[in-house]
Amino acid sequence: MTDYIELWRQAMVDHTGKIPNRLKDDAAEEAFWSSRVAGKKQHEPDPYAKLVQQELMALLKTDDHVLEIGPGWGNYTFDIAKEVKKITCMDSSKSIISFLKSQANVKGFENMELIHDKWESETKRDKYDVVFGFNCYYRMKEIGHTLLKMNESATRLVIVGMTTGPEKPHYMELKQRGYTINVRKRDYIHILNVLYQLGILADCKIVKLKSKKIYSTYEELYRENTTKILDEDFSHDEVKTILDKYVEEKDGVFEYEYPFHAALMYWNPKGN
């Protein structure tokens, strides 16, 4: 039988065969999030989050106490807080916790609890009606332990969310033409397989999304959309020809709109 937990560990390495620094160094991870929230004066969710929220909110109840793991800058946090009795947020970044606290004060939320801790190493076994986390699993090497801990901490529902592919279409076309592309190595299907290995059969809702990136110059567009090409030598003219198929110039800027998806995996906690 395939060991999906081990496959998850193996997929943490990058194309050079090394684990990226952010995935193993807490200081590097803190520096990343500190830089991301430094310019944020107020909470503003990513554009795609609203569509995911619609599916997420349908799973919650007004009397729920929700634990959110790795909330980031609050794509879902404050919308959840509006709909439930209480939300507790746990994040390993001091910068994130500080940002969420300031925004909770500005927005007047009194049903939020913020905890600075790593879910992977936190040892308390408090119970929550719902345990939820979205896009927070990239550093969690022991994914089996992570998911079982979520299962043990929930009394009603566990919800695991991730954004997923496909990759940008120009990368997919380049890959078909023989280019070496640094595609994502871990995806929601890995989580589903790990859950299956753990004896948990989760439901899965796929949400169709779109992303629109706007670039002020063609040079910026080209630079930002060739970073996944791993070949040292490649035809810039061919890449530009393929990239241009998916880009539209409007009012002096360049727009690249492409589809992607989110997956919400959820189950009633086994054994509780």
- The structural domains of the chain, with segments of one domain joined by +, span 4-210+260-267
Retrieve residue 224's tokens: 């930002």
* Interatomic CA distance for residues 195 and 190, integer angstroms: 9
Structure tokens at 148: 């079982």
C-alpha to C-alpha distance for 83 and 73, rounded to whole angstroms: 18
**Residue 129, both tokens:** 């009606």
112-116 vs 86-91, strand pairing mode? parallel
Tens place of pLDDT for every residue, the chain, 272 residues?
799 999 999 999 998 899 999 999 999 999 999 998 887 777 788 888 999 999 999 999 999 999 999 999 899 999 999 999 999 999 999 999 999 999 999 999 999 999 999 998 877 778 999 999 999 999 999 999 999 999 999 999 999 999 998 999 999 999 999 999 999 999 999 999 999 999 999 999 999 999 999 999 999 999 999 999 999 999 999 999 999 999 999 999 999 999 999 999 999 997 65
Give residue 125's pLDDT. Answer: 74
Residue pair 200/268 in contact by the 8 Å Cβ criterion: no
pLDDT on residue 207: 97
What pLDDT, in 10s, does the model give residues 195-217?
999 999 999 999 999 999 999 99
pLDDT at position 1: 79
Which of 248, 3, 45 is closest to 134 using CA atoms?
A: 45
pLDDT in the model for residue 29: 94
Q: What is the pLDDT of residue 272?
A: 53
Q: Residue 98: what pLDDT?
A: 94
Which residues, in sequence order, are bridge partners of residue 264? 161, 205
**DSSP output for the chain:** ---HHHHHHHTTS-TTSS--HHHH-HHHHHHHHHHHHHT-SS----TTHHHHHHHHHTT--TT-EEEEES-TTTTTHHHHHHHSSEEEEEES-HHHHHHHHHHHHHHT--SEEEEES-TTT------EEEEEEES--TT-S-HHHHHHHHHHHEEEEEEEEEEE-PPPHHHHHHHHTT--B---S--HHHHHHHHHHTT---EEEEEEEEEEEEESSHHHHHHHTSTTB--SS--HHHHHHHHHTTEEEETTEEEEEEEEEEEEEEEPPTT-
* Burial class (CB within 10 angstroms; exposed 0-12, middle 13-18, buried 19+) of 185: middle
Residue 168: CB partners within 8 Å, gap ≥ 6?
Answer: 225, 246, 256, 258
Q: Domain 4-210+260-267 falls in which CATH fold? A: Rossmann fold (3.40.50)
What pLDDT shows up at residue 271?
A: 64
> Alpha-carbon distance 149 to 152, whole Å?
5
